[in-house]
């Protein structure tokens, strides 16, 4: 799983701040478990069934701890003693946390998705610009955006199919590493994006993109 999910603290697992109220803990948990269901494209792209099972167990443990006031207080005290959490950080704040997953997903009919994918796959194979970009040694976010525009696939469609919030999809196309979610999700998000565009081999293209990001970080 790259960095072991179990090594994240409970707030990192649910991608929330330590000062969020209980209802946001619940919302974050509901969003996260949707991400790791078997029909979730990012989850299917990146995690094995065993890893997904382990992650779901971790999420449930995090939720049951943080949703209970006494357990959450004890857990926070433990983080403070370890120097992981600042005492002031757990006081109620006004900033609203934003989950990385889009929970308001509209269900798409499988037959409609299958038909659209077949048409898109044919378009990819026939398009010389797409094949040229894919064959490059390095692939940037702007390259991915160029392909998506060439294939006439709205970013909103990808957000709808993958459940990934559109601001993260914009970050992928903009090489905006500051906006990216936790690294453990990034590869799955990129591969889900590629699969929505029927770009193959997804693993190889994903690696080219990640190498491009790494080269940008070395320059800063």
CB 27, CB 97: distance < 8 Å: no
Least confident of 56-70, 103-117, 135-149, 179-193: 103-117
User: 119-161: per-residue pLDDT in tens?
Assistant: 999 999 999 999 999 999 999 999 999 999 999 999 999 998 8
Instruction: Name which CATH class applies to 5-90.
Output: mainly alpha
Q: Which CATH number fits domain 110-219: 3.30.470.20, 1.10.260.40, 1.10.8.10, 2.160.10.10?
A: 1.10.260.40
User: 187-201: per-residue pLDDT in tens?
Assistant: 888 988 999 999 999
Provide the residue ranges of all domains of the chain, joining segments of one domain with +.
5-90, 110-219
pTM: predicted TM-score of the whole model, two decimal places: 0.60
Which tokens sit at 20?
Answer: 């969020």
Least confident of 28-37, 80-89, 177-186: 177-186
């Amino acid at each position: 799983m790259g960095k072991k999910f179990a090594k994240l603290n409970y707030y990192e697992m649910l991608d929330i701040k330590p000062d969020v109220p209980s209802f946001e803990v619940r919302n974050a948990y509901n969003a996260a478990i949707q991400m790791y269901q078997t029909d979730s494209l990012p989850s299917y792209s990146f995690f094995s069934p065993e890893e997904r099972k382990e992650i779901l167990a971790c999420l449930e443990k995090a939720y049951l701890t943080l949703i209970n006031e006494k357990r959450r207080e004890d857990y926070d005290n433990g983080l403070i003693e370890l120097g992981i959490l600042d005492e002031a950080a757990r006081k109620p704040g006004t900033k609203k946390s934003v989950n990385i997953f889009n929970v308001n997903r509209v269900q798409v009919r499988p037959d409609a998705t299958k038909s659209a994918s077949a048409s898109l796959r044919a378009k990819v194979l026939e398009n010389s610009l797409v094949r040229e970009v894919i064959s490059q040694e390095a692939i940037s976010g702007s390259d991915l955006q160029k392909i998506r525009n060439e294939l006439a696939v709205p970013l909103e469609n990808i957000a709808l199919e993958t459940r990934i919030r559109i601001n993260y999809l914009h970050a992928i196309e903009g090489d905006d590493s500051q906006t990216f979610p936790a690294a453990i999700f990034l590869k799955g998000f990129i591969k889900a994006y590629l699969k929505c565009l029927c770009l193959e081999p997804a693993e190889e293209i994903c690696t080219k993109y990640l190498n491009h990001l790494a080269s940008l970080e070395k320059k800063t």
